[in-house]
Amino acid sequence: MILSNDKILVIDYGSQYTQLIARRIRELQTFCEVIPFNKINKKILNDKALSGIILSGGPNSVKDKKSPKLDSKILNLGIPILGICYGLQLICKEFKGKVGQSKLREYGHSIITVKRKSLLFKKVKTKNQVWMSHGDHIEKKPYGFVITSLSSEKVIASIENLDKNLFGLQFHPEVYHSLEGKKILSNFLFIICKIKNKFKLENFLSVKVKTLRVKLKNKKVICGLSGGVDSTVTAFLLHKAVQNNLFCIFVDHGLLRLNESKEVENTFKTKFGKNFKKIEASNIFLKKLKKIKDPEKKRKIIGKTFIEVFEKEAKKIKGVEYLAQGTLYPDIIESIPFFGGPTAKIKSHHNVGGLPKKMKLKIIEPLKELFKDEVRNLGGKLKINSELLNRHPFPGPGLAIRIPGEVDKHKIDILQRVDKIYIEYLKNNMIYDKIWQAFAVLLPVKSVGVMGDERTYNYTISLRAVTSVDGMTADFYMFNKTQLTNISKEIISQVKEVNRVLFDFTSKPPGTIEWE
Ligand code: XMP
């Protein structure tokens, strides 16, 4: 749908880095799509906007008979192809080279030396650090190809066949540790594939609004709001396209941050007026969560209740044909079974994206081509308040999964007050933007303390703060002693139900970001 943009197709063979390739290409303002190797079809390959193809890495060995193959239709297109790692080995095999597995397996950092002038290495240093991650490598170069670089272990690091427009890298240019990787990818895009029409958010916005208008005409659309970035940007974008035909429903499950429900209401009431409806449903959720301790049960109850409440309300709006969802591109990639995101199996995720199929509404996902930071930028162009856009991610089941064990109104109230103190400290001390996600967890543990001359017996809080790129992996953020001391002091002095503060220094894996 991105009309005039030139496009790069990334064919995925199962590499853990495929999303990163797509990310880098977007950073270079080029539109790209990731498609698993077994979903490639004529329509995809005949797309007039297609300017180049990247074959990703993958966990298999091309020597294995059952490993994924390179479809000859792809090679016959005549457009530039860059094979990365497994992708390179596929090209090698196709043109009668030899792939082997020797003692010289290279994993991690390696230094390559450019041996021959190559468009891929234009303005790239002769010697540079790259990231290798595969056991197989080329033993004999394929017919018609030249070797353009070697690793310090004398492994062939890159080959090319200019006549056929085929290029291959044994290393991963998409990984940060490949110091000139981005330059190499940029050479592929702009010198080899000759990309001209760059992907610009301004264009995306105007084109998207126009196509939504054409598609939706005067049909009614409903949108579930969570107060988060994705659903907010979806709603603002749709509003620009269909104005009063957009109806927004915000289910307040009572598990939001302090004052958040009011803030969401204020933002949307002003913008959408009567077409915005807030449903106060905290009592329904609390009742259903009573005596439930198991994390998965909690998640499922919240998910199901959310759908029931939303559905009931949506039915009151007559003649609705579409349901808008804030699905992002990484959600699409992860939900394709072949890609299999690990987190989905660990926790059943719930968000406004999981609304019911049985509602028989047509789904519309206007952000599905975008990454999170692009959605934030788009939100800026739609004039959404920057504080809302730059908020840390917040899970659909809300504070319920930050209160291990049974959830009740009293505990939610304590956690909301603690969370506010913690987050305000981070904001006031300019730490908030350095952290990907920070929150407090109320533990079901009471301990003895002393305040003044009094014995206390109160709750324990654990502080979580992580850095991450996409939430799939994370590292804990290291506060200094003064910061930890001040946060702990502020919480204990202002929230009388808490007398002990812990700091969670677990990375993901082995931990997850949320506690439940
Ligand atoms: P975990 O705990 O799986 O969390 O390491 C990874 C990221 O996902 C967020 N998260 C959710 N987001 N619905 C959401 O919309 C959910 O059910 C959900 N569970 C976790 C979590 O906050 C973190 O950013």
State pLDDT tens for residues 170-221.
999 998 889 999 999 999 999 999 999 888 888 889 989 999 999 999 999 9
Cβ 341 under 6 angstroms from ligand 1: no
Query: Known catalytic residue: 85?
Result: yes
DSSP, res 17:
T
**Residue length, the chain?**
516
Cα 404 to the chain's mean position, in Å?
A: 26
What DSSP assignment string belongs to 292-318?
---HHHHHHHHHHHHHHHHHHHHTTST
Please identify which of the residues 94, 106, 174, 260 carries the catalytic annotation: 174
- Out of 70-74, 243-247, 359-363, which region has the weakest mean confidence (pLDDT)? 359-363
424 Cβ neighbours under 8 A, 6+ residues apart: none
Query: Known catalytic residue: 248?
Result: no
Q: Quick one: pLDDT at residue 25?
A: 94
234 residue type, one letter: T
Name the band, by pLDDT with cuts 50, 70 and 90, for residue 5. confident
State pLDDT tens for residues 448-476.
999 988 999 999 999 999 998 777 778 99
State pLDDT tens for residues 47-94.
999 999 999 999 889 999 999 999 989 998 999 999 999 999 999 999
- In this predicted structure, the answer to whether residue 435 has a pLDDT above a threshold of 70 is yes
| Rounded CA separation 63/326 (Å) | 42
Mutate to test the pocket of ligand 1, among 467, 514, 515, 516 (most ligand atoms within 8 A of CB): 514
Q: Quick one: pLDDT at residue 344?
A: 40
Report the pLDDT averaged over residues 318-337. Answer: 80
In 213-324, where do the E strands start and end?
Answer: 220-225, 246-252, 276-280, 320-324
CA 198 vs CA 5, 7, 190, 369, 445: distances in Å: 6, 9, 10, 15, 55
Percent with pLDDT over 90 in the chain: 74
- In this predicted structure, the answer to whether residue 111 has a pLDDT above a threshold of 50 is yes
498 C-alpha vs ligand 1 centroid, how far in Å? 26
- In this predicted structure, the answer to whether residue 345 has a pLDDT above a threshold of 70 is no
Cβ 353 under 6 angstroms from ligand 1: no
∠ CA 30-33-37, nearest 5°, is: 140
Report the pLDDT averaged over residues 16-23. Answer: 85
- In this predicted structure, the answer to whether residue 493 has a pLDDT above a threshold of 90 is yes
State pLDDT tens for residues 366-388.
998 888 888 999 999 999 999 89
Q: Quick one: pLDDT at residue 356?
A: 61
467 C-alpha vs ligand 1 centroid, how far in Å? 14
Q: Quick one: pLDDT at residue 341?
A: 39
Query: Known catalytic residue: 223?
Result: no
- In this predicted structure, the answer to whether residue 307 has a pLDDT above a threshold of 50 is yes
Q: Quick one: pLDDT at residue 101?
A: 81
> Rounded to the nearest 5°, which phi and psi values hold at 408?
-140, 170
What DSSP assignment string belongs to 113-140?
EE-S--GGGTT--SEEEEEEEES-EEEE
Cβ 300 under 6 angstroms from ligand 1: no
Cβ 512 under 6 angstroms from ligand 1: yes
Q: Which residue has the tokens 């180049």?
A: 52
Cβ 393 under 6 angstroms from ligand 1: yes
465 C-alpha vs ligand 1 centroid, how far in Å? 14
Average pLDDT, the chain: 91
| Rounded CA separation 106/36 (Å) | 26
330 C-alpha vs ligand 1 centroid, how far in Å? 13
Report the pLDDT averaged over residues 276-299. Answer: 97
Q: Quick one: pLDDT at residue 320?
A: 94
